[in-house]
Amino acid sequence: MTSPLLSLASLTVVSLVTAAVPGPSIFLVMRLAMRRGRGPAMMAALGTTAGCILWCAAAALGLAAVLVTAPWLYTVLRIAGGLYLLWFAVQLWRAPQETPGAEPVQPSAAGGAFWRALIVCLTNPKSVLFFGSIFAAYMGPDSPLWVHGAAVAIVCTTCIAWYAAVAWFFSTTRAAASYARAQKPLDRVAGALMGAFGLSLLWVFD
């Protein structure tokens, strides 16, 4: 039988690798960091982590199994998530050009970044299936309760660590200056990527 500590170590590696895979949440945090600064980007990192926690809880409560046995519910969640990402992509594509420093960041921007990141994270119902498969692979029904708690803590810790690092790096002066020089094409690239993620949720053959 695999040692719980070995399973948790493997889970840590898997969590780090999967967190680094490009997705809508990463591109949202990157864009906020370069456009709005470190504060809103860090709040987006927290929002993304909150989404991961909710998906972890859903997987632990058996929602992944429910979605497998009720394909219509998964389809509804997938379509809703895809449509939201497409709407968000249009907003990014149409975002107006801004002059750096011309308008101070409003205090509400940080709260808005948190909620937007949370929604973006929750728009992908594949996440609960992912977390469900992860927990099934690294934890058995006879695993001690502390192993389950440690697994959730590992996933959440790697999530906040990665997204906070992304927020910090892309909010540096050099990154912000690069964004200011090429805001329109960068926003359109981000919009195209968001749209692609949205279509990937809609364009699925079961």
**pLDDT class for 50, splitting at 50, 70, 90?**
very high
Write down the pTM of the prediction.
0.73
The Cα 49–Cα 53 span in angstroms is 6
pLDDT tens digits, one per residue of 164-191:
999 999 888 888 777 767 777 777 777 7
Sketch the domain layout of the chain as residue ranges. 23-95+106-202
**pLDDT tens sequence across 60-103:** 777 667 767 777 777 877 788 788 778 878 877 776 655 444 44
**Residue 154, CB-side half-sphere exposure with 13 Å CA sphere:** 23
pLDDT, residue 165, reads: 92
- Is the pLDDT confidence value at 106 over 60? no
pLDDT digits (tens, 9 = 90+) for 31-45: 888 888 888 999 999
| 137-168 pLDDT per residue, tens | 666 666 677 777 788 788 888 889 999 999 99
Q: What angle do CA 134, 119, 88 make, to 5 degrees?
A: 120
Chain Cα centroid distance, residue 41:
13
